Structure 1
């Protein structure tokens, strides 16, 4: 494993840059809003997105960012694409509540959860994880578009102990799910469905603090650990050690066309705040980890990295710019000034800038301005902006199946 410190070089030509897509295909969310007839002609057939803020969630047109409708919710909610190109899951104290962006409506369909956690979309499946019960719920994303108020037929798996975890189901039906309890998390297990029960295939306890997941090329799954990363490849778990005694990889930013996952990286377990200044390049083909120390001006949180076409990584930094990283070389190759400089959050739930990629567009939240911007990453130009009454917390596109 090697470690590299980065310095800025001459940026590449803008025309040579393509936006990262986060490894998800995008569905078309059609329809109009009954509560917003005056905008129906503009929003019909448009792709939609959801923006969460304190006490509510807004549905916007993904191209113009014009607000289609708004709904009251709880003081803090999270939003995640449901996987069918139409719906978004809003995580509340009751569970995963379905938001229809096409009608639009905050529906009465709630998948009960004592602590609604990760939502994972992969190979046409949507997987929900309830941290309060270690329960995984799996269903076909396509069926959700026609759910008509009911959750599609689903299968479940419940782990031994409740913990902040995540699950993903692979194309062959293998279920990967984390293992832990309310105090610690140790690794993951691979399970095979057999009728109404699950058979354990293999497991690993070599991933302390396991968190997050991402699927790289050839369906290699990457999990973050406090001392490196755990990958699932060829039916087996493999631990890739960090070069530092404490080297936490909390999130994996992946492209399903690249073997290299980009992970955030932290070396000081006692460091205050949530800003980070380094990333890892996890080469799942070569089975090695490289740490890239970024320039002092490039600092970010778990919400500030995205991937996509050309397999580049875009990092939204506290200096207000999007910095473009080439995972193949480990070099920063461009920079796009987008928003005003910002400071890191006191708590991770606090509203702070985030980036979400989709095709040639990145969506950047700017809580200080109560705004969300659409950015063309081929040119760096802001193509649309919406100003809200409240600071945006999270942004989720109504993405279709992988």
Structure 2
């Protein structure tokens, strides 16, 4: 049993505390991380103000990867044989229906992962796998460790040096199989290894394997013959199916994939002057979109899930409607960047930062800001050197600013009832303001019953009125709220039944059952005032596939029957406490979809 923690970009909330009483504040914070094509530096730029916040010296020119949480950016320096972890300085703490933010200075964490020629760098469930081509070995580490300044790694040996990839998938590793005759050729498939290093099942054939991405709870690898589509099988083991290219497609293949955010699909290259939209759940899974000239780069929009963007060598940026399968807008943005020449020559790259699509212009030394709604250029930011790779982190939301709360968090004496805000006692607790002695042990009986996940209702549009209602009263659009809850609600466990000390998880209808006993609770404290309580239970017996720990959060801090809850589960107690982005949410199975919508909108 695994708990998905996926994501699209985190909708972070920026907080600025001056020590004086202040009301809640709606703010926007976005940061751009830009590497240089030739120099070993990474620039951090405030995308709102256009100011450079920091410049970090690293060991070589880097490709940049942002984590799903948005708390880390990694600089992969192939020629310097190292991956460097960077703390973005933007972190949010989620409580299900609201979130708090910490905004700090960006910083090098001190964590570095060393090896001979790192290339493919893949995140899954908060774990990163760096594949070192000249060793044929992947080193896997947790983001939590990297942010803390150290990264203890677990090694997975593929069998031979090659241009390969490894994905950490729950209790398994998906590992590329080198070409048996010439490892300098692309891999021939994916094998599944248990944590003991032994292969599970047969090799999933995938000739010329190159390109990997995740969208929702689906993982895909690109092959010469189609895609390998990976989903959770029985007991959490990966299920791998081959999806052949459609006969209607011209000869070709994808070698780069990006997973959609908010909508489940994949965007890939297909020939020099086309892209392909892939939805493995559809009978006609492949839709090829021709481009006016050769493609330079493409990216999906994590905020406006309907759109993706493609930059072509004529210097134009195109908006791609992934539902309609067509280019809807185009904008002349830079001088032409021909695709003739070396594949690694400096050419523009795309990132999305809130209301802007940002495009690097390496030869001009600048970033172009494009309004994502009007699709008109909305400014430029000058960047020293040759700005090349780019990633964005951040978002829009509410910063809580009660000085009394800040004092209380820093240890000053006072009664929680004396805080000068308008919430009553119960709402204070719900919002995360309480004293330690108010927290009491709770038994599993507080969550007894049959429960349904709300994630399917988000996927099928049932919760669209809830998202629209939030947009009317909040500071994000309905699409932004939907993308936010897409991260939070995501789970494979569509139903959970709790009877006595027995908890049964149903993944795709298959039951996994275990018995649990209380392992106490943990109070989570956030820098800006809010706190939360996780009530923890440890497995005492049952199915091996069941998680060792389950942790409940339902905004209550003492014995009381839950009306809904957020559940975290896995085998590492401490690591689960760090999980704040994915909180599968459950309501009683007796409630209809309409009743759940009504409950959420009344809340």
- TM-score normalised over the length of structure 1: 0.76
Match of 2:288 in 1: 292
Quote how far apart the aligned CAs of 1:364 are.
0.7
CA pair 72-142 structure 1, distance change in 2 beyond 3 A = closer
After TM superposition, list the pairs within 5 Å mapping 1:322-401 onto structure 2. 322-344=317-339, 346-398=341-393
Match of 2:273 in 1: 277
Q: Distance in 2 between matches of 1:280 and 1:158?
A: 33
Q: Distance in 2 between matches of 1:362 and 1:337?
A: 14
CA pair 360-298 structure 1, distance change in 2 beyond 3 A = farther
SS at structure 2 position matched to 1:185 = coil
Q: Distance in 1 between matches of 2:106 and 2:13?
A: 10
CA contact (8 A) 1:27 1:86 kept: no
CA pair 310-86 structure 1, distance change in 2 beyond 3 A = closer
Match of 2:117 in 1: 115
CA contact (8 A) 1:49 1:395 kept: yes
After TM superposition, list the pairs within 5 Å mapping 1:248-263 onto structure 2. 248-263=253-268
Quote how far apart the aligned CAs of 1:211 are.
0.9
Match of 1:125 in 2: 127
Match of 1:165 in 2: 164
Match of 2:52 in 1: 67
CA contact (8 A) 1:223 1:251 kept: no
CA contact (8 A) 1:25 1:401 kept: no
Quote how far apart the aligned CAs of 1:159 are.
0.8
CA contact (8 A) 1:121 1:401 kept: no
Displaced runs of 4+ in structure 1, greater than 6 A?
29-32, 399-402
User: Over alpha carbons, which structure has the higher Rg?
Assistant: 2
- TM-score normalised over the length of structure 2: 0.52
SS at structure 1 position matched to 2:211 = strand
After TM superposition, list the pairs within 5 Å mapping 1:77-92 onto structure 2. 77-92=62-77
CA contact (8 A) 1:52 1:77 kept: yes
CA pair 66-396 structure 1, distance change in 2 beyond 3 A = same
CA pair 79-247 structure 1, distance change in 2 beyond 3 A = same
Q: What do residues 35-63 of structure 1 show as CA deviations (whole Å, max 9, x unaligned)?
A: xxxxxxxxx99443321111122122233
Q: Distance in 2 between matches of 1:336 and 1:122?
A: 35
CA contact (8 A) 1:212 1:224 kept: yes
Q: Distance in 2 between matches of 1:67 and 1:314?
A: 25
Quote how far apart the aligned CAs of 1:330 are.
2.1
CA contact (8 A) 1:28 1:86 kept: no
CA pair 374-401 structure 1, distance change in 2 beyond 3 A = farther
CA contact (8 A) 2:177 2:191 kept: yes
CA pair 265-50 structure 1, distance change in 2 beyond 3 A = same
Q: Distance in 1 between matches of 2:70 and 2:139?
A: 19
Q: Distance in 1 between matches of 2:382 and 2:256?
A: 29
Q: Distance in 2 between matches of 1:397 and 1:372?
A: 12
CA contact (8 A) 1:215 1:256 kept: no
Match of 2:83 in 1: 96
Match of 1:203 in 2: 203
Q: Distance in 2 between matches of 1:401 and 1:159?
A: 31
C-alpha RMSD of the superposition: 3.1
Q: Distance in 2 between matches of 1:335 and 1:45?
A: 27
Q: Distance in 1 between matches of 2:284 and 2:368?
A: 36
Structure 1's unaligned 5+ residue stretches are 1-21, 33-43, 267-275
- Residues 1:265 and 2:270 aligned together: yes
Q: What do residues 165-214 of structure 1 show as CA deviations (whole Å, max 9, x unaligned)?
A: 223234x4343232223333111122333xx5454244212x22211111
After TM superposition, list the pairs within 5 Å mapping 1:137-286 onto structure 2. 137-145=139-147, 147=148, 149-151=149-151, 153-170=152-169, 172-180=170-178, 181-193=183-195, 196-205=196-205, 207-217=206-216, 219-233=217-231, 234=233, 235-241=239-245, 243=247, 246-266=251-271, 276-286=272-282
Structure 2's unaligned 5+ residue stretches are 1-5, 17-26, 90-104, 234-238, 395-579, 583-603
After TM superposition, list the pairs within 5 Å mapping 1:20-35 onto structure 2. 24-26=8-10, 28=12
CA contact (8 A) 2:32 2:390 kept: yes
| Greater helix fraction, Structure 1 or Structure 2 | 2
SS at structure 1 position matched to 2:363 = helix
CA contact (8 A) 2:347 2:361 kept: yes
Which protein, 1 or 2, shows the higher relative CO under an 8 Å CA cutoff with sep ≥ 6? 1
Quote how far apart the aligned CAs of 1:322 are.
2.3
Q: Distance in 1 between matches of 2:188 and 2:257?
A: 18
CA pair 143-345 structure 1, distance change in 2 beyond 3 A = farther
Tell me which of 263, 281, 300 is aligned to 1:306. 300
SS at structure 2 position matched to 1:357 = strand
Q: Distance in 1 between matches of 2:34 and 2:210?
A: 24
Quote how far apart the aligned CAs of 1:150 are.
1.3
CA pair 84-129 structure 1, distance change in 2 beyond 3 A = farther
